[in-house]
Structure 1
Amino acid sequence: MSKTDLTIPPEPREFGPINLLGLWTLYKKEVRRFMKVITQTVLAPVATTLLFMTVFALAFGERRAGLGGVGFAEFLAPGLMLMGVLNNAFANSSSSLLVSKVQGNTVDFLMPPLSALELAIAFIGGAMTRGLVVALASLAVLVFFVDMRPDHVWAVLYFGLGAAAMLSMIGVIGGLWAEKFDHLAVVTNFFIMPLTFLSGTFYSVSVLPETFRIISLFNPFFYMIDGFRYGFIGHADGSILVGVIVVAVINLGLAAACYILLRAGWRLKS
């Protein structure tokens, strides 16, 4: 090779409409990030699910029936599974973005040729993966205590994936908005946790007074947990069709918001 050849710059790499290699690389980075601390990110939520199951089953198992005549443990288990999905999907995407901002390494994903859509897919996909891994791990343990055979597989998949996507996108927006971990704690303690605990996870809303039952119908988390539980036990507190529509509409709105904010580089580039 001549000296002249060494001075010729390499040809620029060309990408198609979607940078699949970059998207896959960022997605793997997000997955490996939580898998490296699997004791904290997966096993700890499973242990929490078992603690809830033990406490509530022992306290109310013989005195309270579940929806549609099923046992209280069978009623409770799907809600606990989805609660793990919600909490962990939000935690993954929100903490990933906030940690990058705090450590000053947002350049790692802003400088590569990744579009706002590709960034959104990678962060949301990584968070959804964590939520679903927690759900599968919880299922693997809960089957030893209750019958977890689904009656409607489509409902389990639709509401499980829809819930994981919704909280992943809320996590992206929360991670972009937050400037310190106290801000994320505000979202978790005053938004995620109240909506989760008041969604019918631990009780059937049919036993509530009429006023509180109507209020529950305005909680989007109620439709996700009710639909997911319907997939397992075949009974629902609310309208499954309304739940399908609510989850779809909210997720479309959140997807648009994530794309717009990432495209603008809100609180990332300034």
Structure 2
Amino acid sequence: MADGVKMGARRFGRVNWLGLGTLASREVRRFMAVWTQTLLAPLVTAGLFLLIFTIAIGPRRGDVMGVSFTTFLAPGILMMAVIQNAFANTSSSIVISKVQGNIVDTLMPPLSAGELVLGYLAGGVGRGLLVAMAIGLGLLVFLGIGIQHPVWALSFVILGSAFLGGLGILAGIYANKFDQMAAITNFIVTPLAFLSGTFYSVDALPPVLGAITHFNPIFYLIDGARYGVIGVSDSNPLLSLGVGVGSTLVVCLIAWLMLARGYRLKA
């Protein structure tokens, strides 16, 4: 056939926009079908985090980086919810398909590895953006916290969703069972999210722990989002942006290689 397109081929001479759009639409509709679990639950969880930390620590903590503890905490909790949900969306989609034995329905259509990565990421980024919008609206209505730098905030929300969405693809490909996915979430993703400056400024850490934190890419994503929302940060926003872009590209490249080779996907 013309343009180097062959029936049944995994690669095209041009982008398969129909297939890519169909996969992206499937991933978005998948989490929207259970919106109370994927969108409402993160909003409630973020509200509980803010309430508990404000009541338990806020009155004694004082200001952090020139703002109240609650104001400092809010962007970190927002970003933590974003990245956790982006990771959950891509990883659960792949591992559920593998467990149910219908992953072949995604692998058989003429989609390249790059198109598969973009299709899965569309769902993760879409869910991350909607979670960010819901929590951001809640912060504005109940706490009066607006967005100081909207472009920066949006950039880091998209980057965070893409980075953790890419990690979710890697985790979904690697895990063959739900308990393996739970282990990755509990022992890798959750510690990285919690130990990334979400609840504290790295200036308050001992030098060794502070240095270790700077090797955590999620720290830069949360710190950048904090700058976008309230205008303060531990590191230069441009550095955070560079680390976020670089980390996302590396993760997506690895995901592309694994999908292209059918690693742990093809018998």
TM-score by length of 1: 0.91
Tell me, yes or no, if the aligned pair for 2:46 and 2:81 is still in contact at 8 Å: yes
Specify the alignment match of 2:100 in structure 1: 103
1:188 aligns with 2:185: yes
1:94 aligns with 2:91: yes
- Between the aligned partners of 2:160 and 2:261, the Cα distance in structure 1 is 26
Aligned letter for 1:54? L
Alignment of 1:32-111 (within 5 A): 32-111=29-108
Alignment of 1:206-221 (within 5 A): 206-221=203-218
Shift, 1:144, TM fit: 2.2
Alignment of 1:134-213 (within 5 A): 134-213=131-210
Structure 1 unaligned residues grouped into runs of 5+: 1-11
Runs (4 or more) in structure 1 with deviation over 4 Å come to none
Where 2:65 maps in the other structure, the secondary structure is helix
Specify the alignment match of 2:112 in structure 1: 115
Farther-moved stretch of structure 1 (219-228 vs 138-147): 138-147
Return the match for 1:28 from 1, 21, 25. Answer: 25
Shift, 1:211, TM fit: 2.1
Aligned letter for 2:113? A
- Between the aligned partners of 1:66 and 1:213, the Cα distance in structure 2 is 20
Specify the alignment match of 2:4 in structure 1: none
Rg (Cα) greater in structure: 1
1:256 aligns with 2:257: no
Q: Deviations over 1:171-194 (max 9, x none)?
A: 001000001011111111111111
Return the match for 1:130 from 114, 127, 134. Answer: 127
Farther-moved stretch of structure 1 (252-261 vs 138-147): 138-147
Shift, 1:16, TM fit: 6.5
- Between the aligned partners of 2:14 and 2:145, the Cα distance in structure 1 is 42
Shift, 1:66, TM fit: 4.1
Aligned letter for 1:112? P
Tell me, yes or no, if the aligned pair for 2:128 and 2:158 is still in contact at 8 Å: no
Where 1:238 maps in the other structure, the secondary structure is coil
1:19 aligns with 2:16: yes
Return the match for 1:228 from 214, 225, 228. Answer: 225
Identity of aligned residues (%): 48
Tell me, yes or no, if the aligned pair for 2:139 and 2:146 is still in contact at 8 Å: no
- Between the aligned partners of 1:204 and 1:118, the Cα distance in structure 2 is 39
Tell me, yes or no, if the aligned pair for 2:79 and 2:132 is still in contact at 8 Å: yes
Shift, 1:145, TM fit: 2.4
- Between the aligned partners of 2:255 and 2:176, the Cα distance in structure 1 is 17
Farther-moved stretch of structure 1 (211-220 vs 258-267): 211-220
Q: Deviations over 1:34-78 (max 9, x none)?
A: 111111111111111010010001112222234331111111111
Specify the alignment match of 2:234 in structure 1: 237
- Between the aligned partners of 1:265 and 1:64, the Cα distance in structure 2 is 51
Q: Deviations over 1:197-243 (max 9, x none)?
A: 11111111111222222221111111111110011121111232321
Structure 2 unaligned residues grouped into runs of 5+: 1-6
Q: Deviations over 1:114-146 (max 9, x none)?
A: 111111100011111111111111112222222
